């Protein structure tokens, strides 16, 4: 575990020293500020659109951070050849992958924390209340979703050599699942066999990332999600994350590095 944590710390340090996060955060602040400064029928208490825009920007920024940060990890290690002195140490390939995963996940978690605090400030400035538990649930689910995305991207970075192609594919898959994942069963109903069964199979096989997207609940001040459901969502995310990491390890463990 020490080795994994040591590897993770390097990834976190890299993100802290790179400018990606700062640029995205400033962009989020600026765009939210601009949206908030629009005069809407002389009413300053309108807040939900601002919450929605802010959350949308946070989601987009978090996906950019998670995917780009993860997609470059292994290719950059190989391209800059830092992987050689590292794996010449008593580090297993599994530890290497887990360290990279943990680092990316913790780094995006830290970024999310900053983003959600900003969101809380924006929301509280107009709504005059701060439903911390709801925000905690939203942030936690968001972070769990990113675990799946990071594991998927890590697997992609082993399959596809170029970080750009891997990043693009992961973006398309993630966005596709977020937008359409929930509706595949309805689409399947309108198809004939064997397409119907095939699409139903896809529907049950893909990780339903949209389950973790509770922006509408937060924007419109819905009640807390039952904690039992939160536990189930955590298990769901853990299962998919483990699956992708295992697949990545199976491919990577015997792959020659030269």
Partner 1 sequence: MNPAPALLAALALATALATGGRLLAWQTERAQDAGSVFDLLLGESRRAFAVHAFLKADAYYHSGFYPSVFDLAQQADNSKTHLQESIKSAGAEHHDHDHDAKPAKARDWLEAFGSHFFPSQHRHLEKFGDEREILPWLRLAAELDPHRIETYTVAAFWLRDRLNKVNDAEQFLREGLRANPQSYEILYELGRLYAENNRDVPRARAVLELAVERWLKQEAPKADPDKLGYGQILAQLADLEERAGNLDRALAHFARLKQVSPAPETVQKRIDELLARQGRPR
Partner 2 sequence: METLTIDNLRVEYRSRAVGEPVKTAVKGLNLRVAQGEVFGFLGPNGAGKTSTMNVLLGFVPPTSGTARLFGVDVREPIARQRIGYLPEQTYYYKFLTAEELLRFYAEIFQIPKAERSQRIDAVLKLVELDHARTRQIKTYSKGMQQRAGLAQSLINNPDLLILDEPTSGLDPIGRMKVREIIQRLKSEGKTVFFSSHELGEVETVCDRIAILHQGELKTEGRVSDLLREHGTNLEQIFLKIIGHPPPP
Q: Which residues bind partner 2 (CB under 8 A)?
A: 2-3, 5-7, 9-10, 13-14, 17-18, 80-82, 84-92, 254, 256-258
208 binds, among partner 1, partner 2, none (CB under 5 to 8 A by kind): partner 1
Q: Alpha helix locations (H) across 80-131?
A: 83-87, 93-127
Q: Considering only CA atoms, which of 182, 215, 200, 205 is closest in space to residue 58?
A: 215
Q: Is 81 or 183 the residue whose CB approaches partner 1 more closely?
A: 183
Nearer to partner 2, 80 or 192 (CB): 80
The one of partner 1, partner 2, none whose footprint includes residue 129, by CB under 5 to 8 A per kind, is none
Q: How far apart are CA 170 and CA 150, in angstroms?
A: 9
Minimum CB distance to partner 1, residue 218 (Å): 9
Q: By CB under 8 A, is residue 31 in contact with partner 1?
A: no
Residue 214 interacts with which of partner 1, partner 2, none, CB < 5 to 8 Å by class? partner 1
What is the smallest separation between the CB atom of 26 and partner 1, expressed in angstroms? Answer: 23
42: DSSP letter: T
Cα(100)–Cα(187) distance, rounded to whole angstroms? 37
The C-alpha atoms of residue 234 and residue 141 are separated, in whole angstroms, by: 8
Nearest-approach distance from CB 95 to partner 1, in angstroms: 34
Decide if 219 contacts 55 (C-beta within 8 A).
yes
Question: Binding partner of residue 220 among partner 1, partner 2, none, CB under 5 to 8 Å per kind?
Answer: partner 1
187-246 positions binding partner 1, by CB under 8 A: 187, 189, 203-204, 208, 210-214, 216-217, 219-222, 225-226, 229, 232-233
Asked if residue 128 binds partner 1 (CB under 8 A), the reply is no
> Of 114, 130, 106, which Cα lies nearest the Cα of 29?
114
Binding partner of residue 86 among partner 2, partner 1, none, CB cut-off 5 to 8 Å per kind = partner 2
Tell which residue, 22, 35, 222, has the closest CA to residue 126. 35
Sign of CA dihedral 171, 221, 24, 20: negative
Query: What is the nearest approach in angstroms of partner 2 to the Cβ of residue 159?
Result: 13
Which partner from the list partner 1, partner 2, none does 22 bind, CB cut-off 5 to 8 Å by kind? none
- If phi > 0 it is left, if psi is from -120 to 50 it is alpha, else beta; for residue 166 that is alpha
Q: Is 30 exposed, middle or buried (0-12, 13-18, 19+ CB in 10 A)?
A: exposed
The DSSP output letter for 89 is: S
Indicate whether 142 belongs to the interface with partner 1 (CB under 8 A).
Answer: no
Give the span between the Cα atoms of 2 and 82, in whole angstroms. 19
- CB 234 → partner 1: shortest distance, Å? 13
60 binds partner 1 (CB under 8 A): no
Give residues in contact with partner 1 (CB under 8 A).
Answer: 38, 40-43, 45-49, 141, 182-183, 185-187, 189, 203-204, 208, 210-214, 216-217, 219-222, 225-226, 229, 232-233
């Amino acid at each position: 575990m020490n080795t994994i944590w040591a590897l993770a710390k390097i990834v976190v340090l890299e993100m802290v020293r790179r400018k990606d996060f700062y640029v995205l955060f400033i962009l989020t602040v600026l765009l939210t500020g601009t949206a908030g400064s629009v005069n809407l029928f002389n009413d300053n208490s309108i807040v939900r659109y601002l919450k929605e825009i802010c959350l949308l920007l946070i989601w987009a920024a978090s996906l950019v951070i998670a995917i780009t940060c993860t997609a470059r990890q292994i290719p950059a290690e190989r391209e800059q050849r830092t992987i050689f002195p590292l794996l010449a140490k008593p580090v297993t390939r599994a530890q290497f992958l887990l360290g990279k995963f943990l680092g990316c996940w913790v780094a995006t978690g830290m970024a999310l924390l900053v983003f959600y605090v900003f969101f809380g400030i924006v929301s509280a400035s107009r709504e005059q209340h701060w439903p911390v538990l709801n925000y905690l649930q939203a942030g936690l689910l968001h972070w769990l979703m990113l675990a799946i995305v990071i594991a998927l991207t890590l697997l992609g970075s082993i399959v596809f050599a170029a970080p750009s192609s891997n990043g693009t594919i992961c973006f398309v898959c993630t966005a596709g699942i977020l937008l359409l994942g929930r509706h595949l069963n309805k689409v399947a109903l309108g198809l004939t066999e064997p397409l119907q069964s095939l699409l139903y199979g896809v529907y049950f096989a893909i990780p339903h990332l949209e389950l973790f997207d509770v922006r509408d609940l937060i924007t419109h001040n819905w009640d807390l999600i039952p904690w039992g459901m939160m536990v189930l969502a955590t298990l769901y995310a853990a299962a998919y994350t483990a699956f992708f990491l295992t697949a990545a390890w199976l491919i990577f463990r015997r792959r020659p590095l030269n």
